[in-house]
């Protein structure tokens, strides 16, 4: 992480809440660690970052985030190894992406030294919230919101950058069932699909609710213009194994450039697994399922790491996927977590010691 002389102002919590938490029974995102960081953008400049006890904050009802949706976020994790050292996984990728998202929504980019100095100090203060053990992590949520008061339809001139954290276990504890989208779209050409804009996720909830009513868990989104090509899942990038070949869609202005996605692509290359990054058609995958050539579908993302898809629905027909020996998804999940928990050598320099 970037060395810096920038130091956040710190107000430490008087009494930690950690003893009140059942770490063996966590609901993702519901329990927050003791501290949070915020930094305000005022008069064209980011102010000194502040770390304070986690808690409510005041914001006026006319703040532009509520009316025009200027809000972007990131998802990261901190991992603790068996020697009680805390590690981050490719954090520079998340920093670059939140600024890329911000730029698309006319939000001023956040300084790199502010980001990493604040993140490092926040993790130092709340290091006990990072638990050891398989599947355990501290989920890190940086985000930016527009805070200028006023309902005029224009970009804000004030913003708040924040980082909150929450202890986490596995996001999905079982395989999922999906539906290939045929009516609704996640994103369109020229839009904000590549950004982690809050509205991208809000717009997914209703179609996902319809899918859940049918007994399914998630949607694999298709291109908005034709619904002929598979692009990404509700909260994840998506991979398909046809025979021994791994397929995934290329990133574009509709698809999020996932950190886990690009790490899996690299791990596939490292292990001589053929990976093809090109458009993946619905027809190709449906036909592969019918012929028995479709061996796996799995999602990839920071929260989930890797999650197996056990079947999909298309045209009101449900297709079960086989249980295969030595699945790619299991291999990639273990390979990633071995690196993240500092159990094996990291040949790509992806892990960064937090402190």
Q: What is the pLDDT of residues 197-222, one digit of tens each?
A: 999 999 999 999 999 999 999 999 99
| Residue ending a domain, choose from 139, 169, 199 | 169
Q: Which residues of the chain have pLDDT under 70?
A: 1-4
| Domain shared by 88 and 211, yes or no | no
Among candidates 330, 22, 308, which has minimal Cα distance to 177?
Answer: 308
Quickly count helices (H) and strands (E) in the chain: 8, 20
| Domain shared by 180 and 142, yes or no | no
Residue 143, beta-bridge partner list? 73, 162
| Residue ending a domain, choose from 169, 193, 216 | 169
| Domain shared by 220 and 73, yes or no | no
The model scores a pTM over 0.85: yes
| Domain shared by 28 and 140, yes or no | yes
Work out the widest C-alpha separation in the chain, in whole angstroms: 62
- Domain of 87 in residue numbering reads as 9-169
The whole-number pLDDT of residue 3 equals 46
CATH classification of the domain holding 157 = 3.30.470.10
| Domain shared by 246 and 288, yes or no | yes
| Domain shared by 182 and 322, yes or no | yes
Residue 348 lies in a domain: no
The whole-number pLDDT of residue 355 equals 86
Query: How deeply is 323 buried, as exposed, middle or buried, from its count of CB atoms within 10 A (0-12, 13-18, 19+)?
Result: exposed
| Domain shared by 20 and 129, yes or no | yes
Which DSSP string corresponds to 59-83?
A: --TTBHHHHH--EEE--EEEEE-TT
The whole-number pLDDT of residue 4 equals 54
Residue 3 lies in a domain: no
How many independent structural domains does the chain possess?
Answer: 2
């Amino acid at each position: 992480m970037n060395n810096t002389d920038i130091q956040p102002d710190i107000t430490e919590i008087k009494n930690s809440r950690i003893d009140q938490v059942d770490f063996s029974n966590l609901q993702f995102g519901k329990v927050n660690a003791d501290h949070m960081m915020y930094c305000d953008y005022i008069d064209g400049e980011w102010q000194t970052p502040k770390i304070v006890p986690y808690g409510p904050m005041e914001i006026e009802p006319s703040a532009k985030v509520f009316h025009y949706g200027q809000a972007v976020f990131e998802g990261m994790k901190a991992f603790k190894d068996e020697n009680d050292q805390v590690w981050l996984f490719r954090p520079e990728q998340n920093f670059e992406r939140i600024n890329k998202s911000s730029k698309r929504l006319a939000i001023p980019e956040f300084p790199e030294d502010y980001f990493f100095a604040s993140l490092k100090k926040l993790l130092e203060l709340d290091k006990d919230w990072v638990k050891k053990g398989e599947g355990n992590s501290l989920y890190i949520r940086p985000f930016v919101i527009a805070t200028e008061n006023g309902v005029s339809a224009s970009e804000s001139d004030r913003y708040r950058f924040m980082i909150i954290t929450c202890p986490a276990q596995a996001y999905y504890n079982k395989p999922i069932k999906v539906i290939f989208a045929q009516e609704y779209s996640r994103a369109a050409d020229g839009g904000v699909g590549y950004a982690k804009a809050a509205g991208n996720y809000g717009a997914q909830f209703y179609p996902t609710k319809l899918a859940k009513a049918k007994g399914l868990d998630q949607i694999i989104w298709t291109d908005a213009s034709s619904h002929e090509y598979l692009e990404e899942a509700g909260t994840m990038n998506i991979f398909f194994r046809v025979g021994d070949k791994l397929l995934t869609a290329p990133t574009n202005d509709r698809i999020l450039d996932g950190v886990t996605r690009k790490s899996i692509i690299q791990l596939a290359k490292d292990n001589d697994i053929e990976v093809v990054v090109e458009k993946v058609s619905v027809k190709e995958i449906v036909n592969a399922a019918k012929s028995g050539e479709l061996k796996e579908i799995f999602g990839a993302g920071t929260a989930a790491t890797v999650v197996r898809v056990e079947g999909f629905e298309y045209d009101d027909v449900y297709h079960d996927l086989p249980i295969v020996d030595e699945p790619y998804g299991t291999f990639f999940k273990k390979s990633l977590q071995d690196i993240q928990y500092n159990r094996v050598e990291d040949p790509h320099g992806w892990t960064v010691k937090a402190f």
